[in-house]
């Protein structure tokens, strides 16, 4: 009975033993080893791990974006219970955008440089709903930008990608996702290239997407702060494998795997170093201030002495 209910409500994303190998002149190289992930609607699954651990490759394998001449994928990728690995490239292209959204580290790559933001909205929205007129699509686009708190949507729609900041483009991408309401959003280091204020705005936008559209988000980040803030569950990757999976609370409070502890420690150490550096800077500033004060006092004393001497001389 429970199995029947589970089959009726499959997770938005499920990977079963997803593996990727690369053909090299010296032989076959295993890059991803039996990745098993499960992500429900409206939830955020974080993937963390050091550089080269296989986070981006996992995203590409799910999206069907691997270079087939170079890489072999095995295992299963299911979107709401539908197995995707047998889909043609054309079918996958249709699925990406309509049901699977992507937000990548460099938002500039997601836009065509030669077209305005408005044209890109119109093109994308009309690909998914052919009954929409250009004017209707622009109204939807302006609403979506406004809804995302982006300033002056009509002006934004007339601008080209190169005229906008990275944070702005990321939020425009999320606004576009809001229109398409994908079941799954794959966000690979979406805040890495951004300043702190833009990071916060993008994370808030992602949070709205999941709350208001029920989109399930696979969030890759090397920043444990971002994961702690956004994710419900976390998978820790190392050398192409998942070494630990847990709820975000469990992972941060009671990490089980040695490598997870190391990752958490290195973050603490990084913060510790930062704090130490800041303290040292403050101490140096204080010392400089004290030295300046002392110099000023000495100058004042010298001036007073000179005045007294001059006073003494004139009295004499």
Ligand X SMILES: Nc1ncnc2c1ncn2[C@@H]1O[C@H](COP(=O)(O)OP(=O)(O)OP(=O)(O)O)[C@@H](O)[C@H]1O
Binds ligand X (CB under 6 A): choice among 6, 52, 65, 306: 52
**Smallest distance from ligand X to CB 44, Å:** 18
Binds ligand X (CB under 6 A): choice among 43, 55, 73, 183: 55
Q: Is 43 in the site for ligand X (CB under 6 A)?
A: no
Instruction: Sketch the per residue contact string, 128 through 167, with ligand X: x for CB under 6 A, - otherwise.
Output: ----------------------------------------
**Smallest distance from ligand X to CB 173, Å:** 19
Q: Is 54 in the site for ligand X (CB under 6 A)?
A: yes
Q: Is 56 in the site for ligand X (CB under 6 A)?
A: yes
CA 19 – CA 35 distance, rounded (Å): 6
Q: 3-state DSSP helix/strand/coil percent for the chain, to nearest 5?
A: 55, 20, 25
For 209-245, give one letter per residue: b (16+ CB within 10 A) or e. bbeebebbbbbbbbebebbbbbbbbbbbbbebbbbbb
In sequence order, the β-bridge partners of residue 73 are 20
DSSP string, 77-123: EEETTEE-TTS-HHHHHHHHHHTEEEE-S-GGGGS-TTS-HHHHHHH
CA 137 – CA 114 distance, rounded (Å): 19
Binds ligand X (CB under 6 A): choice among 204, 208, 222, 267: 222
Q: Is 31 in the site for ligand X (CB under 6 A)?
A: yes
Binds ligand X (CB under 6 A): choice among 11, 49, 107, 118: 49
Cα-to-chain-centroid distance, residue 81: 26
**Smallest distance from ligand X to CB 70, Å:** 6
Binds ligand X (CB under 6 A): choice among 53, 120, 170, 199: 53
**Smallest distance from ligand X to CB 47, Å:** 8
* Structure letter (DSSP) for residue 161: G
Widest CA span of the chain, in angstroms?
Answer: 114
Nearer CB in complex with ligand X: 49/167: 49
**Smallest distance from ligand X to CB 71, Å:** 7
- Residues forming contacts to ligand X in the complex (CB under 6 A) are 22, 31, 49, 51-57, 70, 222
């Amino acid at each position: 009975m429970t199995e029947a209910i589970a089959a009726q409500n499959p997770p938005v994303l499920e990977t079963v033993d997803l593996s990727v190998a690369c053909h090299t002149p010296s032989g076959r190289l295993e890059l991803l080893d039996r990745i098993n992930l499960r992500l429900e609607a409206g939830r955020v699954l974080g993937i963390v791990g050091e550089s080269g651990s296989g986070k981006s490759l996992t995203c590409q394998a799910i999206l069907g974006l691997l270079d087939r001449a170079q890489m072999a994928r095995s295992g299963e990728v299911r979107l709401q219970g539908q197995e995707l690995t047998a889909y043609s490239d054309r079918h996958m292209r249709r699925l990406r955008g309509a049901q699977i959204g992507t937000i990548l580290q460099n938002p500039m790559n997601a836009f065509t440089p030669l077209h305005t933001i408005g044209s890109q909205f119109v093109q994308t929205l009309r690909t998914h709903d052919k009954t929409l007129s250009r004017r209707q699509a622009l109204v939807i686009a302006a609403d979506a930008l406004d809804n995302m708190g982006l300033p002056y949507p009509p002006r934004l729609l007339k601008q080209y990608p190169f005229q906008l900041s990275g944070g702005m483009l990321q939020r425009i991408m999320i606004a576009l996702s809001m229109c398409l309401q994908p079941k799954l959003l794959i966000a690979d280091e979406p805040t890495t290239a951004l300043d702190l204020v833009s990071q916060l705005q993008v994370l808030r936008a992602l949070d709205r997407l999941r709350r208001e559209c029920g989109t399930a988000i696979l969030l890759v980040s090397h920043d444990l702060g971002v994961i702690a803030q956004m994710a419900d569950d976390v998978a820790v990757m190392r050398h192409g494998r998942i070494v630990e999976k847990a709820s975000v609370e469990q992972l941060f409070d009671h990490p089980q795997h040695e490598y997870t502890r190391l990752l958490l420690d290195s973050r603490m150490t990084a913060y510790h170093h930062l704090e130490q550096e800041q303290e040292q800077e403050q101490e140096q500033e204080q010392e400089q201030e004290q030295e300046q004060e002392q110099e000023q006092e000495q100058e004042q004393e010298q001036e007073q002495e000179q005045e007294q001497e001059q006073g003494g001389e004139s009295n004499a």
